[in-house]
Structures are given as C-alpha cells and as structure tokens.
Amino acid sequence: MENTNDKEVSRDHKRLGRELELFTFSDTVGKGLPLWLPKGATLRRELERFIVDEEIRRGYLHVRTPDIAKLELYKKSGHYPHYKDSMYAPIVIDEDEFMLRPMTCPHHFELYLSKPHSYRELPMRIAELAQLYRYEQSGELMGLQRVRTFCLADAHIICANEEQAVEEIGKALDLIEYVTSVFNLKLDVDYRYRLSLGDRANTEKYYKNDEAWEKGEDLLRKLMQKRGSNFEEAKDEAAFYGPKIDIQMKNVNGKEDTAFTVQYDFCMPGRFNLTYVGEDGKDHECFVVHRSSIGAIERSIAFLIEKYAGTFPLWLSPVQVKVLPVREKHNDYAREVTEFLKEHTIRAELDERDQNLGTKIHDAKSNKIPYSIVIGDKEVESKKVTVESRDKGKLGEMTREELVEKLLQEIRNKS
C-alpha cells in the first residue's frame, strides 16, 4: 500500500516537471527563473488561451503594458517603499531610475488616465497576462510555486460606486469558481476562501484610513455571507491598500499558498486621481477592484501537476496522441495519420524509433499521453487506426475522421 510520503513524492511537481520535460532551472540563468521546455510551453499556452478567451467572453478588455517602468510610478502608487524589499534594484538609464515591475495595477491606472471616461463605460475591466518580477528570498524559492518571475492573469476593474464594485467582486468570484470547476477542483476540498484583513495598528504596512478599512472589510464579509461561502478571516494578510478575498490551496507537502485573489482598493483611486464623468456632468472618484482569475500561471501549473499527478486531461496535455507504427514498413501510413491529426489541431507525435511495439506503448504510458494509436498491417490495409485510451483502455478500430471528431469533442468539453 502506498504511504503518504510515497504519494507526495509521486505527485511533487518538481519531480514530475523534470520527468515529463515541462520545465527546468539553470544556475547560470539565475535562481527562481524557470525555463520552459516545449511541452511545458504548450501547457502554459493552453492555460493562457483558455483564460484570455473566457475573460473576453465576460467583458474584459485585454491590454499589453511594459515589463519595466520608472521608479516614480511605484512611488506614486505607494508600492515603493511598501514592497521595496521584494522589488529588484533600480536600473539607471539616462539619469532616470527604472524598475522591473512587481505588479500591474499602476500601469493599468495610467492606461485608464490616457483619456476621460464617462459613467456609461463603467465598469471597465482592464486585463492582462502580465510578466512580473519579485525578488523572493533564496530560502523561499520552491519549484514553480515561488519564483522570481511569473505571469499573472491580472485585471483591474474600474467601477462607478461601491455597489458596482461589490457586484464586480461577486462576478470575479464566479469566474474563479468556473475556472476551478474546469480543473475539477472542489471548494472546501481542494481550495478554501480566506478573508484577508488589515491591522489598524500597523501603519507601516497598511494605508492609514480606519474608516475605509472598516467599510471595505465589512463589504467583503457581507458579500461572502450572502454567497453562502465558508471562509476564514485572517488578520494582517491584506494588501496595503485594502482587504481581499484569497483562494488558498495546499501543495503535496502541505504548504498553503494563495492561488487566486480578489481585492477591494480604496487607496489607489485617490493616488492616481481616477475619475469619471457622471450623469450630472461632474467628475466623480472611481472605485477599484483588483483580481487574478487563474493566478500566476507558474503557481497554477504547479498545483495542476500535483492535482493530476501529471496525468493531464486531453485539452491540457502537451502531447495528446502518440502514433505507434509496429514496424518500419508501417511508417509511411503512420506519418500520414500523424499529419492528418495535426491538420485538425491535434497535438500528435510519431514514434519512429527502431523499437518493439511493447516498448513504445510503455513509453507512451510513462509519459502519461492520453491516446495511443497503433499502426500495423491491418490498419494500413483498412486505412483505419486502432486506438487505446490512457484512462479507458482499448477503444478498438475507427477511421481517422471518427477519431478526430471524438478528440475535438473531448477537447471542447474540457472533460
């Protein structure tokens, strides 16, 4: 019987990432800076496409902003000096100081300020897959779960009033719960909610406005109660500019990290003079919601590797089908089948090695590939394929067209 420690080792994303050739690290490149191999890059790309398409469907406006900005931007936002210790050192260029960005919000606020806005445009959901840089301490680095550069599925929702902000926080949580359902993650089993509060006495860590803190925390608390969600309250875990709802997950070693988050911000609108023209023709201060729908891509992939033990569903699998010719004389038809699958956007690989079929099948299973196709004399003659599923065993013979239809339906359903 497999003990707990064996299970932890078998699911550890660091080990599986190496065995499945997803990512690697290099001391020459630098600690905490992951290098994505082709299969890992494919996995990332599928997650990124999934969340961008889903966010656009829900009314988000996807943008692109620079990975670097002048230090003045982070002084304006208040992140510097609050996050000074986790930011990379300034880069001096033409007598100006620049920083690799540790967060996206000030970039999005400057983007919003590029022109005046009417109340009719709000809420405005500004989203980005943003590469961020944070100088984590060496002792804190751990595989993909804590790195020094990561891609955050980030968004900042500019709202007209408190009611709109609370509604948008609810919609952000709806999106997060949809995302987790696609990954087959269950609330209160695989993840839990935490209401992260400030500390009125800690004026060094938090923006000083007791009344705004009380109101913001109460708004989030009542929203969670109205949703009927179980949640724990945690003091001194908020962002410096406001309280937040965190989605907490544990890795196989039992360490808990924040996977996704939704934050209420009563500080930045004033710092950036974020306003809109109301129905009365006058300027009004905005309300802001920060949220990450799928969190940091790196950390999410670490959780998913461990959740699935590397046995990804078809839509996420870097290689979806392995084509296995029995002998060299079957290679021509095997190549034809492989190209047919690729033409229909199936990620297929051909195993043309001079090895026996048993070895090829074993290797396909070891690499956790969802489907294997055997090509022998019978298949060449019938112009069909014999299919075996990783999860359901032998499926028998079918035409290439039938196989493609089956695979594409499974991919669309993300089943």
Same-domain status, 257 and 342: no
pLDDT (0 to 100) of residue 1? 41
Burial 13-39 (b: 16+ CB within 10 A, else e): bbebbeebebbebeeeeeebebebbeb
Considering its fold, how many domains does the chain have in total? 2
Domain boundary among 308, 331, 366: 308
Burial 365-384 (b: 16+ CB within 10 A, else e): eebbbbbbbbbbeebbeeeb
Same-domain status, 157 and 263: yes
Q: How far apart are CA 340 and CA 346, in angstroms?
A: 9
Residue 291 within any structural domain of the chain: yes
Same-domain status, 208 and 271: yes
Closest CA to 89 of 49, 135, 50: 135
CATH number at residue 405: 3.40.50.800
Same-domain status, 121 and 253: yes
Residue 315 within any structural domain of the chain: no
Residue 316 within any structural domain of the chain: no
pLDDT (0 to 100) of residue 8? 66
Same-domain status, 258 and 393: no
Same-domain status, 100 and 123: yes
Same-domain status, 326 and 297: no
Same-domain status, 396 and 297: no
pLDDT (0 to 100) of residue 2? 46
Same-domain status, 274 and 377: no
Same-domain status, 283 and 351: no
3-state helix, strand, coil in the chain (%, to 5): 40, 25, 35
pLDDT (0 to 100) of residue 23? 98
pLDDT (0 to 100) of residue 207? 66
Q: Which domain covers residue 335, as residue numbers?
A: 321-413
Domain boundary among 252, 280, 308: 308
Question: If DSSP codes are grouped into helix, strand and coil, which group holds residue 124?
Answer: strand
Q: Kindly list the averaged pLDDT for each block of 10 residues, start to end, along the chain of length 415.
A: 58 95 97 97 97 98 97 91 84 94 96 98 98 92 95 97 94 96 92 87 68 87 93 87 89 85 90 97 96 95 95 98 96 97 98 94 95 96 96 95 97 92
Closest CA to 156 of 48, 293, 277, 46: 293
Indicate the residue type of 240.
F
